[in-house]
A and B are shown apart, each in its own frame.
Chain A
Amino acid sequence: MADSVSFSLVTVLIIMGISLAFAIGANDETLSALVGAGVVKFKVALIVGGIATAFGMIFFSQNVGKTVGEDILGSGVKYTDIMLLAVLISSIIWLIIGSFAGIPLSSTHSTVGSIFGVLIIYSLTQGGVNLETALNYDKLLEVVLGWFFSPALGLLVTFILFKIIARFYLSRQRGLNQIEKSEKRFNWLLFIAVIFAEVWVGANSAECVGIFYGILSSNYISIMQYWFFVVICGIFVFLGIFFAGRYVIRNLASHMTNARPSEGVIIQSSSALILMLATFLGLPISHSHVIVFCIIGLNISQKKEVDKKGLLKMALYWFLTFPVAAILGGLIYWFFVLLGFS
């Protein structure tokens, strides 16, 4: 009986993990810059972008997946299926609340916050584990620091990159015909930058691969099955972009027809560099936060006004995400414990 319950729960987790991959693709707005600039046809952009994200997820997400699925836990602590379920439910609820509030919340922050909450309750309710050993606090600190450093670095890199390109190239284009020609050259660079960014967006999708890594490290699935599901996730992230993401992309792209490809190249390259660096360091970071700060960096370098009110609202939710997700995750897990699951 217990085995069949566990099998059902793992099946539910796998379905949720794959659905998460689809949702990541469905919410990916990276391609909108490319579509807005009209570099390639809409369908071509979706296919190439989808393949790049899937490629990143399949081949480069292991470091980040390991952090979420194993390294963040204290020594000897392993996920149970109920813990992972609580983490997923908590993240999803907080993200839905964020969507209704119109705030772009980070699914990465939400997932790690939920893991923290679940592990705290786990250490309080299970024998043999205490608060000090339930979590790898050094790794957690690294991850949280990554959340602060990645947007700041994104801002700085964009600022510097723009200043260099403006100084040596953009400021020398004085007529509309010259500007138009030079931006046409940037179109192809934008294509490369966006595809490059998509690879690292897929690679840093910790919440999805991390769940499978957690299932693997708790021995619910074999290594072969793990890789099978990672490939399935890659396929579903592609399907998410192609079938659902197209609406978000088309909508955002329609507001970007006046955007300069050169600016898109700077923003996308900076955010891709930060994502790549974080992925190699095994740090799950928020792509949305990085890109927002890259845009701020560009605005500062162009001496444009920054929407401080909007930024403050985002920062508030940013700070709230970790504790709220932790409380929510902890409560959900506690509820399962009260029902007799652990």
Chain B
Amino acid sequence: MKTYDKEKLEKLSVDELTHTFMDIINEQTLVLIEGIEHLIDEDFETFKKNLNYVIETSTEVKVKKKFESKIFKSKLMFSKADRLKVFSKINDIKNIGEFLANKMLLYKVIFPDEEFKIQIRYIINSLRIISDKISDAVKFIGSDLVKAHDICEEIKEERRKMRKEEFDLLKRLWGYDMDYLSRTFLYLKELIEGIMMLADHIKNFAEYIQFLSTKYLIFD
């Protein structure tokens, strides 16, 4: 994990602080995803370690504070409000991830069967893809909104595939015998919904970046 001292942050522009913040949040999301993979592998120790990392890490707070103080005084004219919103949407990824991590630590689940594991791996892999892509899209906002727009289109496409997988997973979950452990059922349902909540937020964020592209780009 990178460290960010005060002096280093002071030198960064509003744009660079946004990128740094995005990198930190993306790294945390990837650690969360890795944690879920350990849960699937029933490696509870590493799973707990990963999730606690997501909950306890507060590197981003320093960056957030610096960003807020810089944008407040910045002379950016008309994109100030939009830049603030982009930052708050990145922050929401962290909040949702942290919320999911806290819920997942409540119980040690054993997955019902291999097929379920394959399917859950599929959606977390998609989550990893869209998390990386949103990070790229955010970095292109400042330099190439057309490219950012295209990446966001890919995110939306990936999220569509995830939705189909989600319903397949829920169908499988609801199809298990009635005497299936209710706590396991609830946990897995919450896990699927939590992952999709994160994916939905990333998709909404992607749509917001596309809105920015439409708003700012002028075509002849």
CB distance from B205 to the nearest CB of A (A): 15
Whether A175 contacts B145 in the complex (CB less than 8 A), given A166-B218, A166-B219, comes out as yes
Per-residue CB contact flags for chain B residues 141-176 toward chain A (1 = under 8 Å, else 0) read 111111000000000000000000000000000000
Contact of B182 with A by CB under 8 A: no
Tell me which of B76, B77, B143, B216 contacts A37 (CB under 8 A): B77
The residue that B145 contacts in the complex, of A37, A163, A166, A176, with Cβ under 8 A, is A176
Given contacts A177-B15, A187-B77, A259-B78, contact A171 B218 (CB under 8 A): yes
Q: Are A178 and B143 in contact (CB under 8 A)?
A: yes
Contact A175 B143 (CB under 8 A): yes
Q: Judge if B110 is at the interface, Cβ distance under 8 Å.
A: no
Most buried by B among A37, A176, A183, A257: A176
Tell me, yes or no, whether B81 is within 8 Å of chain A by CB. yes
A340 to B220 Cα, complex, angstroms? 65
0 or 1 for each of A176-197: is its CB under 8 Å from B? (1 = yes): 1111100110010000000000
Contact flags (1/0) for A31-75 with B, using CB distance below 8 Å? Answer: 000000110000000000000000000000000000000000000
Q: Is the CB of B216 within 8 A of A184?
A: no
Check A184 against B77 for contact (C-beta < 8 Å): yes
- B residues within 8 A CB of A184? 77
The answer to whether A177 and B77 touch (CB under 8 A), given A166-B218, A170-B218, is no
- B 117-141 to A, binary, CB cutoff 8 A, 1 in contact else 0: 0000000000000000000000011
A187 CB contacts on chain B under 8 angstroms = 77
Taken together as a complex, chains A and B put the C-alpha atoms of A166 and B219 apart, in Å, by: 7
Taking a contact as CB atoms under 8 Å apart, the answer to whether B218 and A176 are in contact is: no
Within the assembled complex, what's the spacing in Å between the Cα atoms of A262 and B143? 19
Q: A37-B77, A180-B77, A260-B78 are in contact. Are A174 and B220 (CB under 8 A)?
A: no
Is A113 in contact with chain B by the CB < 8 A criterion? no
Contact of B78 with A174 in the complex, beta carbons under 8 Å: no
- Tell whether, in the assembled complex, residue A176 and residue B141 are in contact, meaning their CB atoms are under 8 Å apart: yes
- C-alpha gap A163/B218 in the complex (Å): 10
The answer, yes or no, to whether B79 is at the interface (CB within 8 Å) is yes
In the bound complex, residues from chain A placing their C-beta under 8 Å from that of B218 are 166, 170-171, 173, 302
With contact pairs A163-B220, A167-B220 given, residues A176 and B79 touching in the complex (Cβ less than 8 Å): yes
In contact, A176 and B78 (Cβ under 8 angstroms): no
Residues A177 and B142 in contact in the complex (CB < 8 Å), given A166-B218, A166-B220, A170-B218: yes
Whether a CB of chain A sits under 8 angstroms from the CB of B212 is yes
Chain A 249-276 near chain B by CB (<8 Å), digits 1 or 0: 0000000011111000000000000000
CB distance from A269 to the nearest CB of B (A): 17
Give the residues in chain A near B106, CB-CB below 8 Å: none
Residues of chain B within 8 A of A167, CB atoms compared: 220
Contact status of A175 and B140, CB under 8 A, knowing A163-B220, A166-B219: yes
Query: B1: CB under 8 A from chain A?
Result: no
Which residues from chain B contact A258 at a C-beta distance below 8 Å? 78, 81
Q: Are A174 and B144 in contact (CB under 8 A)?
A: yes
Instruction: Please indicate which of the listed interface residues B83, B144, B145, B220 has the most CB atoms of chain A within 10 Å of its own CB.
Output: B220
Q: How far is the CB of B99 from chain A (nearest CB, A)?
A: 30
Complex Cα distance A38/B77, Å? 8
Tell me which of A37, A176, A257, A302 contacts B142 (CB under 8 A). Answer: A176
Within the complex, the shortest CB–CB distance from A341 to chain B, in Å, comes to 57
Q: How far is the CA of A257 from the CA of B80 in the complex (A)?
A: 10
Question: In the docked arrangement, what's the CA distance between A184 and B75, Å?
Answer: 10
For A257, the chain B residues whose CB sits under 8 A away are 78
In angstroms, how far is the closest chain A Cβ from the Cβ of B73? 14
What's the Cα separation between A302 and B217 when bound, in Å? 11
A26 nearest CB across to chain B (Å): 28
Bound-state CA distance A166–B77 (Å) is 20
Closest residue to A302 on the B side, CB-wise?
B218
State the CA gap A326–B83 with chains docked (Å). 54
Q: How far is the CA of A258 from the CA of B82 in the complex (A)?
A: 10
Q: Which residue on chain A has the smallest CB distance to residue B78?
A: A258
A176 to B78, CA, bound (A): 10
Give complex CA distance A187, B76 in Å. Answer: 12
- Which residues from A are CB-within-8-Å of B217? 171, 174
Chain A positions within 8 Å of B, measured between CB atoms, are 37-38, 163, 166-167, 170-171, 173-180, 183-184, 187, 257-261, 302
The 3 closest A-B pairs by CB, nearest first: A175-B143, A167-B220, A177-B142
Give me the interface of B with A, judged by CB distance under 8 Å: 15, 76-79, 81-83, 140-146, 212, 216-220
| New contact pairs (18) apart from A163-B220, A174-B217, A175-B142, CB-CB < 8 Å | A37-B77, A38-B77, A167-B220, A170-B220, A171-B217, A171-B219, A173-B218, A174-B146, A175-B141, A175-B144, A175-B145, A177-B15, A179-B216, A258-B78, A258-B81, A260-B78, A261-B78, A302-B218
**A–B Cβ pairs within 8 angstroms, 26 of them:** A38-B77, A166-B218, A166-B219, A167-B220, A170-B218, A171-B218, A171-B219, A174-B144, A175-B141, A175-B142, A175-B145, A176-B79, A176-B82, A176-B145, A177-B142, A178-B143, A179-B79, A179-B216, A180-B79, A183-B78, A184-B77, A187-B77, A257-B78, A258-B78, A260-B78, A261-B78
